Homo-oligomer: A and B are copies of this chain.
Amino acid sequence: MTSINTPNSKVFFSDEAYEALNKHLVKRDYSKVFILVDENTHKHCLGAFMGSISGDYSFEIIEIDSGEINKTVETCTQIWEVLSELGADRKSVLINLGGGVITDMGGFIAATFKRGIDFINVPTTLLSMVDASVGGKTGVDLGPLKNQVGVITEPVMVLVIPSFLKTLEERQVRSGFAEMLKHGLIKDNLYWKKLSKISDYQSLEAHISKSILIKTKVVIEDPYEQGLRKILNFGHTLGHAIESHFLNQGSQSHLLHGEAIAIGMILEAYISNKLLGLSEKAVEEISSTFIKHFGKINIPKEEVTACLSYLKFDKKNSHGDIKFVGLSDIGVPVIDILVPEELILESFTYYASL
């Protein structure tokens, strides 16, 4: 896989990634190198990563507890304080080694520490490789509201090391697969068809760069989400609401991001059929593909309203309107769709009937 240029950054793969990192560290002569990990990436990825760095640097490892529940302003405050105590300065760098929680939050911490220090993202989950690695979105949650606080700032480089995927449980890999399927749905019917036939998730490795390319093209054209970039939110309006609801229900089994947006894409495909003329055949194809891979989640009828209460916090909204991304065909997205509440409820009924 060859490297990919994003608006202000560059994505490198495998051995070339380590080579690029080593060159960069020599060139920039950072005062200190901080590595942010969670207990999983500390155990499974840090050794291999550190082993591939040549040269003698002053390293500090900062470990946080894994999980979306820790992607908070409070965790940021703790890390800002640790950085201060360990003498981080404007010429220091933060390397974020982990999944989306680590790269989203670590990016925000670096972008705001002393008004901005360099950071490097090393995504270790399929989801963060194909999604969080490109586009510069950083942020943390505010209670149940996802990514409510953040900035758009790109890392100085992104290192994609597909061998880290072998350290993940299949459920984690599958979560990233949902975003890849989305890339097909919003941009490339052939890619969608090819991916939807896959049964061995480890073989997804070969498609990572294609997904990154699709996302990169969108982000280059519209970095600040004025228009086109919104298509990346297909499945996310309802997906995020469902994810927030499940995150807020301590007692329920929680949903991974990909699992939530898999449901969101089925719901929004149904809505697309009603409002944009997406064919019934396409809706069935989308539904059956996601059900095949992700199964079906029981969302009791009385909880649907609770899910919908999160919609008003969706970052795409303005002036009280809730705006969706839909499909008029597979590969053909339409943005800024207003959806009547009854139709949203109907889409949940459709999902329940599958």
Give the B-binding residues of A (Cβ under 8 A). Answer: 31, 73-74, 76-77, 80-81, 84, 87, 89-92, 108, 111-116, 137-139, 142-143, 145, 147-152, 312-313, 315-320
13 more A-B residue pairs beyond the given contacts A91-B318, A115-B147, with a C-beta to C-beta distance below 8 A: A31-B319, A74-B77, A81-B143, A84-B313, A89-B315, A90-B315, A111-B151, A112-B112, A112-B149, A114-B149, A115-B139, A116-B151, A151-B151
The reply to whether B89 and A149 contact each other, CB–CB distance below 8 Å, is no
The reply to whether B87 and A312 contact each other, CB–CB distance below 8 Å, is yes
Q: Which of B87, B114, B142 contacts A80 (CB 8 A)?
A: B142
Give the complex CA separation of A182 and B138 in angstroms.
37
The reply to whether B148 and A315 contact each other, CB–CB distance below 8 Å, is no
The reply to whether B315 and A80 contact each other, CB–CB distance below 8 Å, is no
Contacting residues, chain B, for A138 (C-beta < 8 A): 115
The reply to whether A148 and B80 contact each other, CB–CB distance below 8 Å, is yes
The reply to whether A142 and B318 contact each other, CB–CB distance below 8 Å, is no
Most central of A147, A151, A316 by chain B CB within 10 Å: A151
Residue on B nearest A74 in the bound complex, by CB: B77
Contacting residues, chain B, for A148 (C-beta < 8 A): 80, 84, 113-114
The reply to whether B320 and A31 contact each other, CB–CB distance below 8 Å, is yes
The reply to whether A150 and B112 contact each other, CB–CB distance below 8 Å, is yes
Given A80-B148, A149-B80: A317 and B89 within 8 A (CB)?
yes
